[in-house]
Amino acid sequence: MTEASVQAAGEGSASAVTSAAALTDGIHLVVDALKLNDVKNIYGVVGIPITDLARLAQSEGIRFIAFRHESNAAHAAAAAGFLTGKPGICLTVSAPGFLNGLVGLANATTNCFPMVQISGSSERHIVDLQRGDYEEMDQLAVAKNFAKAAYRIHRAEDIGRGIARALRTAASGRPGGVYLDIPAAVLGEVLDKAKGERSLWPVTDLTPRQLPAPEAVDRAIELLSHAQRPLVVLGKGAAYSRADALLREFIETTGIPYVPMSMAKGLLPDDHPQSAATARSLALKKADVVLLVGARLNWLLSHGDAPAWNPDAKFIQVDIAANEMDSNQPIAAPLVGDIASVMDAIHERLKPGQIKAPQSWRDELKERTDANVAKMAKRLEAAKAAHPMKFLGALQSIRDVVAQHPEAYVVNEGANALDLTRNTIGMRVPRHRLDSGTWGVMGIGMGYAIAAAVETGAPVVAIEGDSAFGFSGMELETISRYQLPVTTVVLNNSGVYRGDDPSATSDPAPTSLRARHDLMIEAFGGTGYRAATPVETAAALRSAISAGTPALIDCVIDPSDGTESGNIGHLNPKGLTARQPASH
């Protein structure tokens, strides 16, 4: 029991202290409920009214990772959700802290990662009359717009129910971010200990299996069995579903080529002979039957539209969310269910040899793959020799070192830094790549890296554009304080996209940046490296990973390397002042 709640129990009377053993309070109940549900880690920032909650959680055996900014803590909770398949927990203070966390909660929901943001909030009777409380805000109303669901607990006896409901909602069906509001008064509420204990329960079967109907499975098999140019697209939902062996078996026995979305890389090793990642445009343009597995036909897949796709393509979609079907294209064979159950059902109902990808189609993609690999090899060769160092020069070194550490997690954000890393760094293990995801958001870097290190204990290599890194850079201190095995590699071309934009005034250009990031980590006791060549980059990364302690490598990249917005420059509005592609 906290000092504050003992006082609240009896207003300082002697009887309150003597009966304290039979009492509990809101803070204890939150911690007990989280423990009962096997929560191992909380990511957050303390302050009124949740400081004692963080202290108690820590002393009760839950690891509390104290961040410098709530958006990074929330991103960490989201990544924890993706990596463990159970909701990650983020803890924030009222109003501003809550709002800072909200971007992570919204991003988790957008990416279908399960997490719960638990936030303290101010006095309801003051907030709701807008009388001007300390950190006043109707957080529940705000959160509803940004979360899969938002709940508020009004009585300490409902804490167990509220936490069970939040965990269940976050993890079941399409995973997402859930907001749970707990006002200060509820955290401080004192109640009978036995009654409190009876009010808590562990959630049974957090993510129940959801099986597809047999006729839906047969419909999909039928379509695939007549395909001339079948294609599988693996999305991060497939990675999340942990149906690794079933997916691999299906792909290998049918011989269907597949394209992995960025966070599905490693579900099958990137050098798998059926990977059509390097012949992606041809595969999309020509496929006649497409099996989408945990991948949405959103902007990242050109909405399934021609000319990127064959306009006559028939889509089969495996997804847990029924309303994802037909969101962009007619879905000829919807398979609604969890991916493991759907793949199981396909496996059971498929007759031997019923689906077989024609060899001519596989050969066509293989030919394009070989040609593209040869083209890329030339680019890489040229980059290796270039001075100042190019993105691809540094990335080849990083690729070679990471290849020796398949257990390492790769976190990646930026524009060019994102596109080029995705294409250069092969993944061989499922769920080992975490990136900007569905929104293309900057700022996930250090939060995702911290969660990967905390949840798995494995080495983490965060490959960051210099602008991208800045959004969460202060968490280098968190990494150093907890001595996490995170190596941050900043591909520093001194700017957003590029570092050589001219300025129209005496101020720096809007895209211009200047920093020695290696010096930053030294302020926190970590190891800083500066690498100006591919050889120096490789040496620094090798030494950082083998040390297993916090490190940052500032890679000095040619400021003229990089293109506006990386691969997605075409999304910039084309008004009168549009930058001409020729100039950048």
For ligand TPW, the binding residues (CB under 6 A) are: 414-417, 440-443, 465-468, 491, 493, 496-497, 562, 566
Cα 524 to Cα 123, 189, 487, distances in angstroms: 37, 39, 14
Nearest distance from C-beta of residue 232 to ligand ADP, angstroms: 12
Binding segment for ligand ADP (CB under 6 A), chosen from 47-55, 261-269, 359-367, 412-420, is: 261-269
- Whole-angstrom distance, CA of residue 216 vs CA of residue 345: 10
Q: Looking at beta carbons only, is 394 or 451 nearer to ligand TPW? A: 394
| Backbone torsion region of residue 366, taken as left when φ is above 0, otherwise alpha when ψ lies between -120 and 50, otherwise beta | alpha
Letters for 141-180 (x = contact with ligand ADP by CB under 6 A, - = none) are ---------------------------------xx-----
By the rule CB under 6 A, 109 interacts with ligand ADP: no
Looking only at the bridges linking them, the beta strands covering 88-92 and 115-121 are parallel
Helices 416-424, 391-403: axis angle to 10 degrees equals: 40
Query: Where do the DSSP E strands lie in 80-130?
Result: 88-92, 115-121
Q: Looking at beta carbons only, is 67 or 240 nearer to ligand ADP? A: 240
Among ligand TPW, ligand ADP, none, the one that 320 touches (CB under a kind-dependent 5 to 8 A) is ligand ADP
Q: Which residues contact 179 (CB under 8 A, 6 or more apart)?
A: 105, 116, 117, 119, 139, 140, 143, 144, 146, 147, 149, 150, 151, 166
By the rule CB under 6 A, 438 interacts with ligand ADP: yes
By the rule CB under 6 A, 263 interacts with ligand ADP: yes
Query: What residue type is 355 in one-letter code?
Result: I
By the rule CB under 6 A, 241 interacts with ligand ADP: yes
**Under a CB-based contact definition with an 8 Å cutoff, are residues 31 and 6 in contact?**
no
Q: Looking at beta carbons only, is 174 or 584 nearer to ligand ADP? A: 174
Residue 519 neighbours by CB distance under 10 Å: 12
Bridge-partner residues for 317, per DSSP? 292, 334
**Under a CB-based contact definition with an 8 Å cutoff, are residues 317 and 292 in contact?**
yes
Q: Which residues contact 429 (CB under 8 A, 6 or more apart)?
A: 266, 406, 407
By the rule CB under 6 A, 107 interacts with ligand ADP: no
By the rule CB under 6 A, 240 interacts with ligand ADP: yes
For residues 319-338, which are near ligand ADP according to CB under 6 A? Answer: 319-321, 324, 338
- Whole-angstrom distance, CA of residue 402 vs CA of residue 404: 5
By the rule CB under 6 A, 112 interacts with ligand ADP: yes
Chain position whose Cβ is nearest to ligand ADP: 237
By the rule CB under 6 A, 343 interacts with ligand ADP: no
Q: Listing from the earlier edge strand, what are the strands of the sheet with 63-66?
A: 63-66, 41-44, 88-92, 115-121, 177-183, 149-152
Among ligand ADP, ligand TPW, none, the one that 113 touches (CB under a kind-dependent 5 to 8 A) is none
Q: Looking at beta carbons only, is 292 or 540 nearer to ligand ADP? A: 292
Among ligand TPW, ligand ADP, none, the one that 57 touches (CB under a kind-dependent 5 to 8 A) is none
Bridge-partner residues for 180, per DSSP? 118, 151
Q: Looking at beta carbons only, is 176 or 443 nearer to ligand TPW? A: 443
Residue from 222, 230, 278 nearest 254 by CA: 230
Among ligand TPW, ligand ADP, none, the one that 294 touches (CB under a kind-dependent 5 to 8 A) is ligand ADP
Q: Looking at beta carbons only, is 160 or 470 nearer to ligand TPW? A: 470
Q: Looking at beta carbons only, is 443 or 526 nearer to ligand TPW? A: 443
Chain position whose Cβ is nearest to ligand TPW: 465
Binding segment for ligand ADP (CB under 6 A), chosen from 25-33, 120-128, 316-324, 483-491, is: 316-324
Bridge-partner residues for 553, per DSSP? 489, 529
Q: Looking at beta carbons only, is 134 or 439 nearer to ligand ADP? A: 439
Nearest distance from C-beta of residue 88 to ligand ADP, angstroms: 15
Among ligand ADP, ligand TPW, none, the one that 51 touches (CB under a kind-dependent 5 to 8 A) is none
Q: Looking at beta carbons only, is 338 or 564 nearer to ligand TPW? A: 564
Which of 237, 430, 534, 562 forms a contact with ligand ADP (CB under 6 A)? Answer: 237
Nearest distance from C-beta of residue 465 to ligand TPW, angstroms: 2
Q: Looking at beta carbons only, is 235 or 304 nearer to ligand ADP? A: 235
Residue 526 neighbours by CB distance under 10 Å: 23
Token digits for 454? 């905390």
Query: Where do the DSSP E strands lie in 436-509?
Result: 460-465, 486-492
- Whole-angstrom distance, CA of residue 511 vs CA of residue 532: 22
Residue from 147, 137, 145 nearest 113 by CA: 147
Nearest distance from C-beta of residue 466 to ligand ADP, angstroms: 25
Could you list the residues that contact ligand ADP (CB under 6 A)? 111-112, 174-175, 235-237, 240-241, 261, 263-264, 294-296, 298, 300, 319-321, 324, 338-339, 438
